[in-house]
Amino acid sequence: MKQAVDIKDLYALKVGALWSALRAEHLSLWMLCMYFFFEYVRPQSIYPELDILPWAQLFLIASILAAFSDRSVHWVGNGQNKLMILFAMIIIMSGLFAFKRSASLDYWSVFAGWLIVYFLVISIVNTETRLILFLLAYCLFSLKMAQHGAVSWAMRGFSFASYGLVGAPGWFSNSGEYAIQMIIYGSLSVSMVVALKQYWGPVKKWLLYLAAAMGYMSVMGASSRGSQIGLAVIGIWMLLKMKNGFKGLIVIIILATALYYLLPDEQMERFAEMGDDKNSLQRLAYWQYAIHEIIPKYPVLGIGYHNWIYYLAFKVPEGMGPLQKVQESHNIYIQATSELGFIGLFGFLWLIVYAFINNARTRRCAKELKNTLIYYLTFGLDAGLIGYLVAGSFVTVLYYPFFWIQVAMIVMLNNIANTMLVRINHKIDRDPETGALLVEQVEGEKKLS
């Protein structure tokens, strides 16, 4: 029988304990983490000699196969699952009646992939040990992009660059998309720092403070106005959530002042021109066309999943707006409504609302458990989601990993908290060899609703 690692050693991020815990875990967790490595870091794109196999897809398949032999993996009951399946059905229906059906069918694999990853994450990452290992891997993969962005911004003297910053090839190769991932990473890593800093020595503490700060620094250096607005909204939200309002206000003011003086004059000018510059007017032209032309004509299921470019190229081949271009809609809400109709928009909004509900429920469980890590992670996931929803008003990222992975982690955390609370209330444990539930009902203890 393998000896369990002390959870406090994992909180302390002791390398030996983390490695022992990882070695003891099932192959399914290893394969899931390897999938995220190849999907987020993309070494196969950085080093062409590695690009000989579809690595991310292979590790995803391996994760699915390994999950069937993992006795700890069980169906996770959560209302978010039904909403995910419902949204998948909306996409299928929209594709069947699409303006260009072949475009929808060709792109269906993208959302199907996120659906599979969602169910794998919530099913495989099902204990607090796995939670720590998975989140550390996820943050480590994003940290590579964060340190590159923060160092690059510092090396150019915190100056403005029209190209901003970019991350790994693929989902994060554009400054706007890169900045959203940095918001998500920064929010998640800050919540882990707040929860676990008491277990760290001074050197480790300051190194991890820096690692967390690099995420938000990269947002500032990316020159993406939407993400910077999202970061500001997160700051206001954090202030409202803080119990010690005056202390929180002082911290927010200091950080805001520092970031204000770090922002180059060119970036401040971009904010002053917001709504009047060519890029803003171009986006407004797309939004107006969607609101006045597309949505009234296709209110139920839209023009079809992943059909925006094809529809505009047919209807206005000469382009539109001051740049006279045919581009994506640059707004996740316009994207959802124009391509999936009002049914798609309502499905997306309900997914958002239920994600926040899940986090609120997890917080209640964490309070009963007196689990600081789970408690603060809910705030980090809320903050990342808020940042995405704000920044998503200016970029076309509905089918990018941001939202779907964020929702997966929210449900994952809720499942772990519920399972821990049920075990405490009913003295439930699992046989370490077979994974079978060992239940001893305790009289008088309340059931988890």
* pLDDT tens for each residue of 312-341: 999 998 888 777 788 888 899 999 999 999
220-251 per-position pLDDT tens digit: 887 777 788 888 888 888 877 766 555 555 66
pLDDT at 257: 65
pLDDT at 14: 93
Q: How far is CA 212 from the centre of its chain?
A: 16
Q: Give yes or no for residue 381 having a pLDDT over 50.
A: yes
The stretch 396-406 carries a mean pLDDT of 95
CA distances from 32 to 27, 118, 127, 299 (A): 9, 11, 15, 38
Q: Give yes or no for residue 266 having a pLDDT over 80.
A: no
pLDDT at 246: 56
User: Can you read off the two tokens belonging to residue 235?
Assistant: 């700051």
CA distances from 109 to 105, 106, 177, 416 (A): 8, 7, 20, 29
Mean pLDDT of the residues in the chain: 85
What pLDDT band is residue 253 in, cutting at 50, 70 and 90? low
CA distance 177 to 398: 11
Q: Give yes or no for residue 445 having a pLDDT over 80.
A: no
**325: which strand partners?**
320
Of 225, 226, 224, 235, the C-alpha closest to 258 is: 235
Quick count: other Cβ atoms within 10 Å of Cβ 413?
Answer: 26
Cβ-in-10-Å burial (0-12, 13-18, 19+) of 292 comes to: exposed
Token pair 């603060």 is found at: 376
| Predicted TM-score (pTM) of this structure | 0.88
pLDDT at 447: 36
pLDDT at 429: 54
Q: Give yes or no for residue 181 having a pLDDT over 90.
A: yes
Q: What percent of the chain has pLDDT over 90?
A: 59
CA distance 145 to 29: 23
What pLDDT band is residue 176 in, cutting at 50, 70 and 90? confident
What pLDDT band is residue 20 in, cutting at 50, 70 and 90? very high
CA distances from 141 to 124, 145, 352 (A): 19, 7, 25
Q: Where are the domains of the chain?
A: 7-439
Q: Are 295 and 337 in contact (CB under 8 A)?
A: yes
Q: Give yes or no for residue 276 having a pLDDT over 70.
A: no
Cβ-based neighbours of 89, under 8 Å, separated by 6 or more: none
Of the ranges 166-175, 284-293, 419-428, the best mean pLDDT one: 284-293
What pLDDT band is residue 160 in, cutting at 50, 70 and 90? low
Phi, psi of 325 (to 5 degrees): -125, 160
CA distance 279 to 323: 8
